[in-house]
Amino acid sequence: MGRFLWRAGPERAAEASITRFTRLAAAAAAGRDFRTYPDLHRWSVERPEEFWPLAWDFCGLVGEPGDTAVQRAEDPLGWRFFPGARLNVVDTLLKNADGRPALVSICENGARVVLSRAELKAEAARLAAALRAAGVGRGDHVAGFLPNAAQSVICMLATAWLGAVWSSCSPEFGADVVVDRFGQIAPKVLFGVAGYRYGGKDYDVAPVLAEIARRIPSLAHVVTVDRGEAPEGMVAYATFLSAGAAPGAPEPLGFADPLYVLFSSGTTGKPKCIEHAGGGALLRQMVEHQLHADIRPGDVMFYYSTTSWMMWNWLVAGLASEATIVLFDGNPMHPGQGRLFDLAEAEKVTHFGVSAKYVDATAKAGLKPAATHDLSALRVVWSTGSPLSAAGCEHVYADWKADVQLSSICGGTDILGAFIGGAPTLPVHAGEIPGPTLGLDAAVVDEAGQQVIDAPGELVCRQPHPSMPTRFLNDPGKARYRASYFDKFPAFWRQGDFAIRRATGGFEVLGRSDTTLNPGGVRIGTAEIYRQTDAIPGVADAVVVGQSHDNDVRVVLFVVPAEGARLDDALRAEIKARIRQHASPRHVPALILDVPEIPRTRSGKIAELAVRDAVNDQPVRDLGGLANPQSLDAFRNRPELAA
């Protein structure tokens, strides 16, 4: 177990929404004893027929749930949740549409837009009417080539209003990447921008938008949301809006009717089109927001994201809990490394979300926002994208805020939520995720599918739940769906993460199981090595992969030296010594090589599979999923790898 860092005080725990929910659950479960979080979680997965209706009512999902909550089936893809329900997520996301702020949209240059709940609903209704006039209806696809700003949220809500399906990509994506994604869903309407700002620079993407429009033949309308005249063949947003009439009430849908199509990162093959149900995704997100993070009406919720990452969808769902969501478009380190803490102070953020890499970057930069910023409103810090190291956890409590619920969460695009995460009634230990989330039977199993404790294995979910994808598009018979999650354990969802479930209940995520190192048959999670390199001042960034060599696998570590440092014999010796001491001799890399930068996906994750392919002279799968594909050149044809 990692070092104990935090537990909510008695008053805070007593006031938490999950405590009130637990009392209701105990009453609904006919006197069952729920003295601890594990008791509550066990009931939530043993009795989903009782848990999910109670969650619907408690969290405030608007709609008619119908008479049946769960229809079980032998096939995990055959389960049905709330099959008789009728709802539209807009009614929940925009309920109580009054003068309270719904969203705050901030651009890197300081421009700030605030929309009340009433204003946001009115804007969404106007655009829904225009979309209806343009021929968009239930089940049609609408796409956005948009930054993380107010307009993106309005477009998504208007799409959902009509029962249509929303997908988005951020404007730094190239045309090939966008067409690879949107071309598969055949949208009727595309909302786009001709430019964006990042790191103090303005980028012209009008040619990219034009190429996207030309290469997707299904598009009936391309709408530019930038100010000014629309390019030839496109229509300006204001002009498009003027064509609409009254939108009517939001279209009533089934619980499993689609709301989103998201896309896999592309580092494990051509991007998959992952379709998510509106009811299932939103109920899952409301459980995580209200019960696991204690979000209440009036709270201020921020997550640094782009419109390409599932955390954007997760953030927007905060509207359903009547929180104010804060959107930031730009470089989180511009004009200074403390930019996001400036935002947190100015907006009085109560829930602050970033990537694990951002936490590490602030530690290495020596930032101590507890001493420089007023973070008195802050109650919860989220981290995801990659495993948060023990050192990163300790940095948050030492240098950000001592009394805060740190929730490292692990889930993904696949479920638009988290399998494991924190809760106000669970303690926080360094390097661990406190426990499984409610309603999801997360466990760690061995090669035979048997649960293991205090030993590494595959992270799985042993029971279906409402936010599983409804399907992959263009996937006859759900063959690709099954191959992605049920190939190894037909009865269990395999998430593709290598983890340890501790006897105390927490989880330690070691890295992706499909990039797990296997020298001499010993499985090693990559995060076990990153935890050590992150602690070495001379290392700015690193990626570790397995190279096929001499009928075995050897561990190769690539390092970006910190500013003013170089990868000499002394630094190599320091790296090896620390890994040997704090991990094991098996973890020590056979080779340590320097590179100028590490390939990453557009959501900031280390692209281990792409590096592994390059090192092993294999074709790199879907370069378009990478933010910096040119960085792979430094990994190919290295003389050291041939020795």
Is 573 part of a structural domain of the chain? yes
Instruction: Give me the domain span that covers residue 558.
Output: 516-642
Other beta carbons less than 10 A from residue 439's beta carbon: 23
Average pLDDT over residues 595-615: 90
| Beta bridge partner(s), residue 381 | 352, 406
Task: Render pLDDT for 5-39 as a digit per residue (tens, 0 to 9).
Answer: 999 999 999 999 999 999 999 998 887 889 899 99
pLDDT, tens digit, for every residue of 125-166? 999 999 999 999 999 999 999 999 999 999 999 999 999 999
What pTM was estimated for this model as a whole? 0.89
CB–CB of 188/159 below 8 Å?
no
Q: Is residue 80 part of a domain?
A: no
* Average pLDDT estimate for 224-230: 80
Name the pairing type of β-strands 380-384 and 493-501: unpaired
User: pLDDT tens digits for 572-589?
Assistant: 999 999 998 888 788 899
pLDDT tens digits, one per residue of 424-447: 999 999 999 999 999 999 999 999
> How many separate domains does the chain show?
1
Instruction: Please say whether the beta carbons of 356 and 386 come within 8 A.
Output: yes
Range list of β-strands (E), 100-188: 101-107, 112-116, 141-145, 165-169
- Residue 461 belongs to a domain: no
- The full DSSP string for 80-102 is EESTT-BB-HHHHHT-S-SSSEE
Any domain includes 356: no
In a domain, 531, yes or no: yes
Residue 539 forms part of a structural domain: yes
* Max CA pair span of the chain: 71
> In angstroms, rounded to a whole number, what is the distance separating the alpha carbons of residues 364 and 353?
19
Burial of 503 (0-12, 13-18, 19+ CB in 10 A): exposed
pLDDT at res. 265: 59
CATH of the domain at 635: 3.30.300.30
Structure token digits, residue 75: 């096939």
Q: How far apart are CA 492 and CA 250, in angstroms?
A: 36
Span 454-494, pLDDT tens digits = 999 999 999 999 999 999 999 999 999 999 999 999 999 99
Cα distance between residue 151 and residue 78, in whole Å: 37
- The answer to whether position 128 is within a domain reads no
- Whole-angstrom Cα distance, residue 280 to residue 89? 10
For 156-200, how does the pLDDT look when each residue is reduced to its tens digit (9 = 90+)?
999 999 999 999 999 988 888 889 899 999 999 999 999 999 999
Residue 638 lies in a domain: yes
- Residues of the chain with pLDDT > 90, as a percent, come to 81
